[in-house]
Amino acid sequence: MRSVVRWALAALLAAAGVAHLTTLRRGFRIAVPDWATKALHTDKDTIVVVSGVVELGLASALITLPKERARVGAAVAAFFVAVLPGNVHQWRTRRDAPGLDTDAKRFIRLFLQIPLVWAAIWATRSVD
């Protein structure tokens, strides 16, 4: 079952990564808070592109680095935590983005981070 969850997480990350780099790139800029551009000394598009590259890297690592599974899982969980401020920003500003075009959808999205973090840790921990 852990393997199935790892592959599902990898597929989710890969799909999100491709979307961040291609068709939905412009729409994802909405989720980037203004404070993030100031803190990182960059623009929203760069943050979206970098997050897409990171998602693709994490997806690949989940599948190709079995000896580093626990570390990769921790990195995936940390990534899911790191994007939470963008999700909160999008909910608070009531801005539509791809697939998140209502307040209810944006609110539910906030709570999806919890099972994603849990799944990343559970699916990659070593079983004694």
| 50 vs 128 pLDDT, higher one | 50
Quote the pLDDT of residue 128: 52
* 36 and 85 Cβ atoms separated by less than 8 Å: yes
Rounded-to-integer distance, Cα 105 and Cα 93, Å: 13
Mean pLDDT of 76-101: 90
pLDDT of residue 95: 85
Contact 110, 87 (CB under 8 A): yes
Q: For residues 116 and 10, give the distance between their C-alpha atoms in angstroms, rounded to a whole number.
A: 12
pLDDT given for residue 48 in this prediction:
94
Residue spans of the domains in the chain: they are 2-124
pTM of the model: 0.89
